[in-house]
Each structure stands twice: as C-alpha cells, then as structure tokens.
Amino acid sequence: MTTLSIADGAQWLRRFFRRNFKVGIAYVALLALLGVYAGLQPRLFTKPVITATANQGMALVLASMGQTAVVLTAGIDLSVGPIVSLSNTLASTLFPDSVPGVIGVVVLVLLVGALAGLINGLIVVYGRLQPIIVTLATASIYSGFALMLRPRPGGYVPLWYGDLLTRRVFDLIPTSLVLLAFVLIFIWAPFRRSRLGLAVYAVGSDERAAYMSGLNVNRAKVAAYVMAGFLAALAGLFLTAQTSSGDATIGAVYTLQSIGAVVLGGTSLFGGSGGVAGTIAGAFVIRIISSVLFFAGINPLSQPLFEGLVLLIAISLGAARTFTLRNRLETMR
C-alpha cells in the first residue's frame, strides 16, 4: 500500500517537474540573477531597493502577461508597445487633480486599452488575417493616436498618483507587488479557469480540434487580444505613475521586450503551452539585467551587447531539446 503511494508520489513529482521544466528554468535564471545582484549591491534587501526593483519590472510584467494570453492562442501582438504609449499619453492628458476624476480617467484608459485589443482580435478573427501583420498595422495606428495626443513629452500627473503606486502599502510591501497580486487573483485566475481561458489553451494547441470539440474558437481568440490590450493599458498607467509625464514613444520597447519575456518564461510561440507564472519571471529577468550590469561596473557602452547576449542565450536554451531528438523530422514542425 505504502510503496504504491510512494511510487505514485514520485510519479506525480516527476510529472510536475517535467510539466513545469521551462517555468523552472525561468525562475532559476531569475534567482541566479538576483543572487549576483545581491552580491554586487549589498543593500538589495532593504525596503527602498526592493521597491525600486519591483517597480522597475512591473510595467513589463503587466504588458507581458497580456502578450502571454495572445501567444497562447498561437498569435502575437505587436501593438502592445503602442497601447502602452497610448495609455500613458491619454492618462497624462486627461488627469485632473481630484481623486474621483483620476479614478474616472483610469477606468477610461483601461476601456480604451481593451477596445484597442478588441479591434485587434476582431480583425484577426473575422478578417481571417495573420496576427503578426494585423497587429503591425494597428500598432502603427495606435502609435499615431498616441503621437496625436502628445506630440512632445509632457502633460500633468498628480503627485499623489505617482506616490500611491510606486511606494509601499503600510510601508511594508511594494504597492506594485500588491497590484500584481490583485491582477493575478481577480483578473488572470478567473480568466484562466473559465471556459474561455481553457479555450485559449485549446485553440493554441490545435485550433481544428478545439473547433471540432465545440469550443468557441473565435471568442477565445478575441478574448486573448482584449486581455492583451487591457493589461497593456494597465502597464501604461503604472508607467505614468513612475515617470509622472506623458511620452508617445515610451511604450516602444515593450513590444519586443514583452515577447522576450514570454519566451524566457517558457511559453511556446506555437501556442498551447506555458503560462503567466513563467512570464513574470521572464519579465523581471529582462528588467533586472541592466541594473546588474550597472552594478557590476561594466562599461556602459558594452551594456547593450551583454543584454542582447543574455537574451539570445536564454532563448537558445529552449533549443536544447533539439539535440535529444534522434530523427531530424521531429525537429520540423
């Protein structure tokens, strides 16, 4: 009896590790990076530095979570960055001083982000066009709107709004981490556990089978793009709190970095496998690298090279699988 349950447990453990292998790599990479960071910066485990580090990664974490939803459907969203910019410029243009006014603007900005995602999703699904080129086109459109709102950096952001989001709750936990927990518990988890969330995974692993099984393929895809737009807008709002101003080009880096974070986090670009747990680690890795390089005293001019190399090596790790395959055919999709 007992031997059986031990065997069961071992099997379960083995399956758990095999299933979460890629996510594990992302967290090992993050921990290693944090270890190096702690070695270089002894003050890492003080409240201000922890808060700063969390804040530094948060906007990318949020944007990459949205990107994950789309990548899980075997799609890609190149308009994540422009939606971040649009959200940032819209907020900095409309923000009043009063609390209810700011809340109203925040809701409006989130709705605009979701609408931008909805447009992406509807064109991809009902236009039956390729996501990469559709979102390339809408990216141009959204960045146009952002630039229209704010041709030059500037705008107004109430001081208390920035303080509220970038400091700590009860002077203990960084507000950004509380926000992340809130998003995970009240937005991502319900989505992931719903029929829609399941359908997102199903569509990504085999769209035809998902359709044959009676899942609403179209609705799942549209939902993923809406989620991406919504979370990109949230990322933009957080970024607005950090920079206290509006800039139409501020989001540009988020498109590619979010894809990088998703891949580092172990989500397959072919869809159907992965999740936000890995993405969060991936996003922090991408954001922390530059601080680590800075504290390591590396020549600032060689910093982009190291960042690129780390990114390239990290994504190449996923290729290790190729060497375990005997038949060349298995490497082709």
Partner 1 sequence: MVTTSRAWLSLHRWLRGLNQEQRSVVIAYLMIVAIVGLGSLIMPQFASPNYLLLQLMKASFLGAVAAGQMMVILTGNIDLSVSWTLNLAAVMVTSIAQGQNERLWLGVLAGLAVGLIVGLLNGLGVAYLRIPSLVLTLGMDAVVKGVTVLYTGAQPKGESPELLNLIVHHKVWGGLPSVVLVWTAISLFCFIVLHRSALGRKIYAVGNNEICAYLSGVKSHRVLISAFVLSGLMNAIAGILLVGYAGRSFNGMGEPYLLPSIAAVVIGGTNILGGSGLYMGTVAGAIIITLLESTLSIMQISQAGRNIIYGLVILGMLFLYGRGSQIRE
Shortest Cβ 312–partner 1 spacing (Å)? 4
Question: Which is nearer to partner 1, 46 or 331 (by Cβ)?
Answer: 331
Q: Rounded to 5 degrees, what are φ and ψ at 128?
A: 50, 50
Question: Which is nearer to partner 1, 111 or 147 (by Cβ)?
Answer: 147
Say whether residue 154 binds partner 1 (CB under 8 A): no
Shortest Cβ 225–partner 1 spacing (Å)? 15
Say whether residue 172 binds partner 1 (CB under 8 A): no
Say whether residue 137 binds partner 1 (CB under 8 A): yes
C-alpha–C-alpha distance, residues 326 and 92, integer Å: 56
Q: What is the DSSP letter of 184?
A: I
Question: Which is nearer to partner 1, 158 or 318 (by Cβ)?
Answer: 318
* CB-based contacts of 90-93 (< 8 A; 24+ apart in sequence): 90/146, 90/149, 91/157, 91/236, 91/237, 91/240, 91/246, 92/150, 92/154, 92/155, 92/156, 92/157, 92/240, 92/245, 92/246, 93/149, 93/150, 93/155, 93/246
Q: Can you tell me which of 1, 4, 172, 332 binds partner 1, judged by CB under 8 A?
A: 332
Say whether residue 84 binds partner 1 (CB under 8 A): no
Question: Which is nearer to partner 1, 61 or 261 (by Cβ)?
Answer: 261
Q: What is the DSSP letter of 46?
A: S
Say whether residue 85 binds partner 1 (CB under 8 A): no
C-alpha–C-alpha distance, residues 200 and 297, integer Å: 44
Q: Can you tell me which of 4, 319, 324, 326 binds partner 1, judged by CB under 8 A?
A: 319
Which tokens in the block code for residue 5? 């349950």
DSSP per residue over 232-254, as a string? HHHHHHHHHHHHSSB-TTTTHHH
Shortest Cβ 327–partner 1 spacing (Å)? 11
Applying the rule CB under 8 A, the residues between 207 and 246 that interact with partner 1 are 207-208, 211, 217
Q: Can you tell me which of 246, 260, 265, 274 binds partner 1, judged by CB under 8 A?
A: 260
Question: Which is nearer to partner 1, 159 or 329 (by Cβ)?
Answer: 329
Shortest Cβ 256–partner 1 spacing (Å)? 6
Amino acid at 18: R
Say whether residue 74 binds partner 1 (CB under 8 A): no
Shortest Cβ 150–partner 1 spacing (Å)? 9
Amino acid at 44: L
Q: What is the enclosing helix (H) or strand (E) of 173? A: strand 173-174
Which residues have a Cβ under 8 Å from the Cβ of 54 and sit 6 or more positions away?
A: 174, 176, 177
Interface contacts to partner 1, rule CB under 8 A = 76, 123, 127-130, 132-134, 136-141, 143-148, 151, 207-208, 211, 217, 256, 259-260, 263, 269-270, 299, 301-309, 311-312, 315-316, 318-319, 322, 328-329, 331-333
